[in-house]
Structure 1
Amino acid sequence: MSEPANSLRFDVVIDAVNLGAFTAIEGLEASYEVKTYDEGGENGFQHQLLGRVHYQNLKLTRPVDGSTKGLSGWFSSFRREGSGRPAVATIVAFNDNREPVAEWTMMGVCPVRYSGPHLSTDQAKVATETLELAHQGFLAQ
């Protein structure tokens, strides 16, 4: 058995642009609508048919520091420089030896929300920024 992926080690690349390391990724999810169909005369059985597939938005979070490119700039330039065309994004998970273990590639990726850090003198927390991405599904590996 190979070494498992470590949930602390992963990278995000969108259209060959490495956006750097993140501390959290949420939303690697897909689900089908299930439609039920009752067949006449058969009271003990119900057909379950797959409907549309729904892909959850990805939420990428990381601390704000001087070594990372600002996500706010990338978010703003996406429409301007990329002509707003959907992109391809890849998330790679690594093991403790920084060897790739798993990879998820999404097509039709578009940024939908950027959240900057919440700054306050009341709390001594690490400032983080969040990028939310919509996508049209996973590509087969």
Structure 2
Amino acid sequence: MSTTKDPGSSLFFRLTIDGESLGDWNGCDGLAAQVDVELREEGGNNGHVWQLPTRVRHSNIRLTRPINENTVKVMTWISSVSTGIRRPTAQIEALRANGELVARWGLLDVLPVTWTGPTLDPAANAVATEVLELAHHGFTGSGGA
């Protein structure tokens, strides 16, 4: 029997905010960072142009899943923003179907920016899903599996 891991196996994502679980999610996109670069030409140096980093930009992260009992926790967290902005840390874990950890991303200063609930149409033959979009100020050093 082979002990190699199947890299194509389906994953799910677990979101925790300051240690409190907001449940498991089927989809996660937007885990990205971009370094802005300023170009500087040096007089007398025609071999290259210096590329100097200026700032790091982080895209918003979108998590999707069918609505479930944890949807209430998401709504409670979003509602708490109106009583004062507190930017907690978050952790997203990518897990295999058997619960084995594949990767982990820590996020700094997280803020929920959008929540979209399901379209409740009795004529539609689709799963009722929710989408949570998070803004953040960068990744922590606690990544990896």
Q: TM-score, normalised by structure 1?
A: 0.85
Code of the residue aligned with 1:41 in structure 2: it is G
Distance between the aligned counterparts of 2:123 and 2:46, measured in 1?
A: 62
Q: Any conservation in 1 of the 2:13–2:28 contact (CA below 8 Å)? A: no
1:70-96 Cα offsets, whole Å, 9 max, x none, are: 22233112443xx42110100111234
Q: Secondary structure at the match of 1:41?
A: coil
The answer to whether structure 1 residue 139 and structure 2 residue 130 are counterparts is: no
Which residues of structure 2 form unaligned runs of 5+?
none
Distance between the aligned counterparts of 1:102 and 1:5, measured in 2?
A: 14
> What corresponds to 1:54 in structure 2?
57
> What corresponds to 1:108 in structure 2?
109
Q: Secondary structure at the match of 1:86?
A: coil
Aligned length: 138
Q: Any conservation in 1 of the 2:107–2:137 contact (CA below 8 Å)? A: yes
Distance between the aligned counterparts of 1:108 and 1:2, measured in 2?
A: 37
Q: Any conservation in 1 of the 2:13–2:27 contact (CA below 8 Å)? A: no
**Aligned-residue CA RMSD in angstroms?**
2.2
> What corresponds to 1:68 in structure 2?
70
Q: Secondary structure at the match of 2:104?
A: strand
Q: TM-score, normalised by structure 2?
A: 0.83
Change in 2 beyond 3 A, CA 1:16/1:51: same
Code of the residue aligned with 2:85 in structure 1: it is G
Distance between the aligned counterparts of 1:137 and 1:63, measured in 2?
A: 27
Distance between the aligned counterparts of 1:2 and 1:50, measured in 2?
A: 40
Code of the residue aligned with 2:102 in structure 1: it is V
Distance between the aligned counterparts of 2:97 and 2:128, measured in 1?
A: 26
Distance between the aligned counterparts of 1:34 and 1:48, measured in 2?
A: 6
The structure 2 residue matched to 1:41, chosen from 40, 44, 55, is 44
Q: How does 1:73-84 map to 2 (within 5 A)?
A: 73-80=76-83, 83-84=84-85
Q: Secondary structure at the match of 1:73?
A: helix
Distance between the aligned counterparts of 1:63 and 1:99, measured in 2?
A: 22
Following superposition, the deviation at residue 6 of structure 1 comes to: 4.7
Code of the residue aligned with 1:126 in structure 2: it is V
Q: Secondary structure at the match of 2:80?
A: helix
Q: Secondary structure at the match of 1:36?
A: strand
Q: Any conservation in 1 of the 2:12–2:27 contact (CA below 8 Å)? A: no
Distance between the aligned counterparts of 2:79 and 2:121, measured in 1?
A: 25
Code of the residue aligned with 1:129 in structure 2: it is E
